[in-house]
Structure 1
Amino acid sequence: MVDVTVAIPTFNSEKRLPEVLDRLREQINTEHFSWEIIVVDNNSTDKTAKIVQEYQANWSEVAPLHYTLEVEQGAAFARQRAVEEARGTLIGFLDDDNLPDSNWVAAAYAFGQAHPEAGAYGSQIQGNFEIEPPENFKKIACFLALVDRGAEASLYEPRKKILPPGAGLVVRKQAWLAYVPKRLVLNHKGREAKLASEDLEATLHIQRAGWEIWYNPEMRVYHQIPRWRLEKDYLISLIRCVGLSRYHIRMLGLKNWQRPVAFPAYLLNDLRRLMLHLIKYRGDQRDLIAACERELLLSSLISPFFLFKNKYLELGQAKIFGLREDINSLPGLVDRKVSTAP
C-alpha cells in the first residue's frame, strides 16, 4: 500500500502525456508520504505506450511510474481499471491534458489526511486557452471541466446538486470500491454514444453513501483548451451529451419515493425554461453561448425519453444475444445426448 496514486486515463496522448509526466516529476513536498503514478492506456493507437516506457527508463524510484492497458473503450472503464490497479489509499485523477501545480500531489495528500470524512474532493481548474474564449464563456465553462469556487475550501452540499468533474478529482479508494458500480449507466464511450457525465455519476454514488465531497483550491490544475474545443460544433455536441445524460444524474440524486413526483416537475420546468429562452433570443443563431444554453435545455428535456429508449434497446439486445447463445449451444447439447445414449 502507498498513500497516493496519481492515475492518468489516456487515449492517443503521445503529444500531451509528456508534459503531464514532466509536471509530476517536478512535484514538491512529497518526502513525508509514499506515492505512485499509473498511466491507464485506453486502447491508444499511437506511441503512448512507447512514451511511457521511455519515461520509465529514467524515472525516479521515489514515485514509481506504472503502465496498464484497458481494452474496453471509455473513460469510465479506464477510471475503474485505475482504481483496481492503484495501491494508494487516495487516488488522484488527472486527464492527459491536465497540468498540475508543483504541489498538487502534496495538497491532495494533506487534504485527505485533514478530512477523513471526505470520500472525494475536486481541484481548482483553470483554463489554458489557445485562443481567447468567447464573451460570456463563464456560463458554460463548467462543461469544459473548469472550476473556480474561490480561495477557500468548501463542501459540495447534496441539496445544491453540484459536483466536481473527474479531472483533478481525488477519491478515497475505500469509498469507490464499496459504492461505485463497476459498470456505470453512463459508460462514456465518446461523443458517438451521445452520453457523458459518467464522472459525476461515480461521485454521486459516493456522496449518496454518506461520504462528503469537497472543493480544495490548494490543488490547482491547468486544463489545456485547444482552439477546436471552442468551436461551435464541438461545444454543441459536448453539451448535448451532458443534457441527454441529465435525467439519470437527477434521478440518482433522489430517493425512490421522490422520483415519480420529480419526473413531471423536472419535465415542466425544463419546458418552461426552454420556452423562455426561445422568447428571449428569438432563434438568434449568432450567439454561441446562447446556442449552447439552448442545446442544454432541449437535450435535458429529451433526456428521460432518450435514456428510456436506450435502456430498453440495450436490454432487448442483451436478451437477443442470450437467446442466440442458447441456440448456438443446442447442437453441442444434442451431440452430448447422442454420444451418451445407451
Structure 2
Amino acid sequence: MTELLNASLDITVAIPTYNGATRLPKILDRLFTQMRIANLNWEIIVVDNNSSDNTCQVVENYQKICNSNFSLRYFLETEQGAAFARLRAVREARGELIAFLDDDNLPDPNWLAEAYAFGTEHPQAGAWSGQIHGDFEVKPPEKFERIQAFLAIREHGIEPHLFDPDNLRLPPGAALVVRKQAWCENVPQRPKLSGKLPGILVQGDDYEPLLYIHYAGWQIWYNPTMHTYHQIPHWRLEKDYLLTLARGCGLCICQLRLINTKNWQKPIVLVRTFLGNLRRVLEHLIKYRGHLKSDLIALFEMQFYLGSMMSPFYCLKRTIRKLTD
C-alpha cells in the first residue's frame, strides 16, 4: 500500500523501453505537445529496461527542456522483461492513473486528456485502452487484418464497450491505462510471464496483470476516443518474426487460463486447452491443406493454434522445474 500513498498526481505516463534511443524522441515530442491538459497534474517516467544504447542520455537531454507543468523522470530496471519494467513503473508512478506507452506507440494530441476523462467518468474501470492504428514501414501482407491484433493493432469501432477477459479478449499493454489502486491491490510483485527474453518466446505478459485486476472485480474497457499509432518496421512483417510471435502468443494460453483457477479445476483446464486447440489445428489443416506454405496468414494462425495446443505441456514443464529447483 506504500505505492498508493505516493500517488499524488492525476496521471503518470509510463514508457518502458529497451534500446529505444532512436524511438524515444518521437514519443516524447508527442507528449510534450499534448492538448487540453492545462488543469492536469501529470508526469512522464521512462523505465529503461537495461538498454545498451544511449537511452539515458536521450532522456537527460529532454529533461533539460521539460517545462514546469510536468516532470520527466528516468529509472533503470535491470531485471530483463517488459513485465518487470511495468512493475517498476507502477512502483515509481505518482499518479492515481498510469498510462503506459511503448516507445514505438505514438499518441494522438488528445490522447492523455481522453484517457484521464474516461477514468473520471468510469470509476469502476480498473483498466482501459483505445484504438491502436498501424503505422507501417512497408505494406503488410494480404489478409493481414486477421492477425493484426497480435501486433497490438486494435480498431474495435466507435462505441465504448467492456472487454471479455474470461475468454482472453483483452487490450495489449501498449497504450493501456490502469488505475493504480487496482494494480497495487491485486497484481503480484513477481509475474508468471516476463515477456520476451533471449531464448524465451512466450508472450502473455500484457494480459497477466489485467486478469488479476478483472478477477478482483474491476472493469476493463475499450475507449474509442483514445487514438495511438503503432510503428511497425519492415522486419516485424517478415515470416520468421511473425511465426515466432505466433508460437509465443500460443504458448502462454494455458498459464493465462490457470490464473484464478482452483487446484481441482487445473487438470480440467489443461485437458480442455489441449483438446480444444487440437480440434482447431485439425480444422485448420483441412481448410488450408495444400496452401499453408504459400499463405503466410494461415501459417501464422496454424503456429498460434499449435503453440496453444502445446501450452499445457509448457506449463507443466515450468511447474516441474520450479519444484525441482
- TM-score under structure 1 length normalisation: 0.90
Shift of 1:261: 3.0
Q: In 2, are the aligned partners of 1:122 and 1:214 still within 8 Å (CA)?
A: yes
Match of 1:150 in 2: 157
Tell me which of 186, 191, 196 is aligned to 2:193.
186
Shift of 1:253: 5.8
Tell me which of 303, 310, 316 is aligned to 2:324.
316
Where do 5+ consecutive residues of structure 2 fail to align?
1-7
Whose Rg is larger?
1
Match of 1:5 in 2: 12
Q: In 2, are the aligned partners of 1:191 and 1:241 still within 8 Å (CA)?
A: no
For 1:247 and 1:240, the matched residues in 2 are separated by 13
C-alpha deviations, 1:77-101, integer Å up to 9, x for none? 0000000000000000000000000
Q: In 2, are the aligned partners of 1:191 and 1:237 still within 8 Å (CA)?
A: no
Match of 2:37 in 1: 30
Shift of 1:308: 1.1
Supply the AA of the counterpart residue of 1:246: I
For 1:13 and 1:256, the matched residues in 2 are separated by 41
1:139 aligns with 2:156: no
Match of 2:4 in 1: none
Tell me which of 69, 72, 76 is aligned to 1:65.
72
Instruction: Summarize the alignment of residues 115-264 of structure 1 with structure 2, pairs less than 5 Å apart.
Output: 115-190=122-197, 192-252=199-259, 254=261, 256-264=263-271
Q: In 1, are the aligned partners of 2:273 and 2:312 still within 8 Å (CA)?
A: no
Match of 1:302 in 2: 310
Supply the AA of the counterpart residue of 1:162: R
C-alpha deviations, 1:243-283, integer Å up to 9, x for none? 01111112226555544333322322211110111122225
C-alpha deviations, 1:63-119, integer Å up to 9, x for none? 111111101111000000000000000000000000000011111110010001000
Q: In 1, are the aligned partners of 2:128 and 2:221 still within 8 Å (CA)?
A: yes
Match of 1:98 in 2: 105
Q: In 2, are the aligned partners of 1:191 and 1:238 still within 8 Å (CA)?
A: no
For 1:248 and 1:101, the matched residues in 2 are separated by 34
Match of 1:291 in 2: 299
For 2:131 and 2:223, the matched residues in 1 are separated by 7
Shift of 1:187: 1.3
For 1:18 and 1:287, the matched residues in 2 are separated by 37
Q: In 1, are the aligned partners of 2:273 and 2:308 still within 8 Å (CA)?
A: no
Change (3 A) 1:145 1:253: farther
Instruction: Summarize the alignment of residues 10-89 of structure 1 with structure 2, pairs less than 5 Å apart.
Output: 10-89=17-96
Q: How many residues align?
A: 317
How large is the RMSD of aligned CA atoms in angstroms? 1.4
Identity between Structure 1 and Structure 2 (%): 53
Q: In 2, are the aligned partners of 1:35 and 1:64 still within 8 Å (CA)?
A: yes
Supply the AA of the counterpart residue of 2:195: H
Change (3 A) 1:314 1:25: same
Name the stretch that deviates more: 157-166 or 217-226: 157-166
Q: In 1, are the aligned partners of 2:27 and 2:104 still within 8 Å (CA)?
A: yes
Q: Secondary structure at the match of 2:299?
A: helix
Q: In 2, are the aligned partners of 1:4 and 1:36 still within 8 Å (CA)?
A: yes
Give the helix-richer structure, 1 or 2.
1
Q: Secondary structure at the match of 2:38?
A: coil
For 1:190 and 1:128, the matched residues in 2 are separated by 25
Shift of 1:312: 1.9
C-alpha deviations, 1:280-300, integer Å up to 9, x for none? 222531110011001011111
Change (3 A) 1:132 1:189: closer
Match of 1:278 in 2: 285
For 2:141 and 2:198, the matched residues in 1 are separated by 23
- TM-score under structure 2 length normalisation: 0.94
For 1:157 and 1:306, the matched residues in 2 are separated by 25
Shift of 1:159: 4.3
For 1:102 and 1:95, the matched residues in 2 are separated by 16
